[in-house]
Amino acid sequence: MADSPKSEPRRARGRPRDWDDKTAQNTIKSLDRAMEVFEYLSEDQGKALSTLADEMGQSPATVYRILVTLEGRGLVEFDAAAQVWHIGARAFVIGARFLRRSSLVERARPILRDLMEATGETANIAVAQGDMVLFVSQVETHETIRAFFPPGTLSPMHASGIGKALLAQMEEARLTRTLAAPMEQFTPRTLVDPGALRADLALIRTRGYAIDGEEKNLGMRCIAAPVFDVNQEAVAGISVSGPISRVGPDDVTSLGAYVITAAQRLTQAIGGAA
- pLDDT on residue 27: 63
pTM of the predicted model, to two decimals? 0.67
Residue 70 to residue 54: CA distance in whole angstroms: 19
Least Cα distance to 135 among 125, 121, 122 occurs for 125
- Per-residue pLDDT of 102-115, as tens digits, reads 578 889 999 999 99
- pLDDT on residue 100: 56
36 SS3 class: helix
- pLDDT on residue 9: 47
- pLDDT on residue 230: 84
Residue 116 to residue 111: CA distance in whole angstroms: 9
Residue 268 to residue 274: CA distance in whole angstroms: 9
In the chain, what are the helix, strand and coil shares in percent, each to the nearest 5?
45, 20, 35
- What order do you get walking across the sheet with 220-228 strand by strand? 154-156, 132-139, 122-129, 234-243, 220-228, 210-213
Q: Which alpha helices (H) appear in the chain, and where do they start and end?
A: 29-43, 49-56, 60-72, 89-99, 103-119, 161-167, 172-180, 194-207, 252-269
Residue 1 to residue 193: CA distance in whole angstroms: 69
List the domains of the chain with CATH numbers.
Answer: 24-92 (1.10.10.10), 102-269 (3.30.450.40)
Phi-psi region of 130 (alpha: psi -120 to 50; beta: other; left: phi over 0): left
- Per-residue pLDDT of 214-258, as tens digits, reads 999 999 999 999 999 888 999 999 999 999 999 999 999 999 999
- Per-residue pLDDT of 125-162, as tens digits, reads 999 988 899 999 999 988 877 777 778 888 999 999 99
